[in-house]
Amino acid sequence: MLRTGLGRDLHRLVKGRRFLLAGVELPAQRGELAHSDGDVLAHAVCDAILGAAALGDIGSLFPPPDPAWKDADSMALLRSVFGMAKQSGWTLVNLDCVVCCEEPKVAPFRDSIRQSLAQALEVSVDRIFVKGKTGEGLGPVGKGRAVEALAVCLLEKE
Ligand SMILES: [Zn+2]
């Protein structure tokens, strides 16, 4: 059986916060504002996997008001989400992601981000891809006030 999943997330960008994509810190003037560490890509990937496996969504599994998730390591959340999917018999066929922000540029960090995701999802790096896009100066992403991530995955079960 094959199942697709889609995830999307957005965080405000503010000064004094780290800019994290799948656990990789990119040098940037502003970082993601969130109750957790704000890792927008990790969150989108969590929702893609949870959606494909019909196991819930990140907001219900890790509710933001819960103090347990304050400054939470989102890659630990992703590993726990993938563990749940694995327990239901799912493995990852592939994952494709888009990160939208004006800065920093994602491309120089693409391979580190792919490696980090491949490690968390227990697959080889050739099954993971990540692209960076800008907002063309339009909307909150284009004005540099937010970063958005989209993820689509394919899960397989015997
Ligand atoms: Zn988020």
CATH class for the region spanning 2-156: alpha beta
Extract the tokens encoding 60.
Answer: 């219900």
Q: How far is the CA of 132 from the centre of ligand 1 (A)?
A: 17
* Burial (0-12, 13-18, 19+ Cβ within 10 Å), 12: middle
- How high is the pLDDT of residue 72? 87
Q: How far is the CA of 29 from the centre of ligand 1 (A)?
A: 19
Query: How remote is the C-alpha of 45 from its chain's centroid?
Result: 4
- How high is the pLDDT of residue 71? 83
Q: How far is the CA of 9 from the centre of ligand 1 (A)?
A: 5
Maximum distance among all Cα pairs of the chain, rounded to whole angstroms: 47
Per-residue pLDDT tens listing for the chain (158 residues): 999 999 999 999 999 999 999 999 999 999 999 989 999 999 999 999 999 999 999 999 988 778 887 888 999 999 999 999 999 999 999 999 999 999 999 999 999 999 999 999 999 999 999 999 999 999 999 999 999 999 999 999 99
- How high is the pLDDT of residue 7? 98
Q: How far is the CA of 158 from the centre of ligand 1 (A)?
A: 31
Bin 116: left if φ > 0, else alpha if -120 < ψ < 50, else beta.
alpha
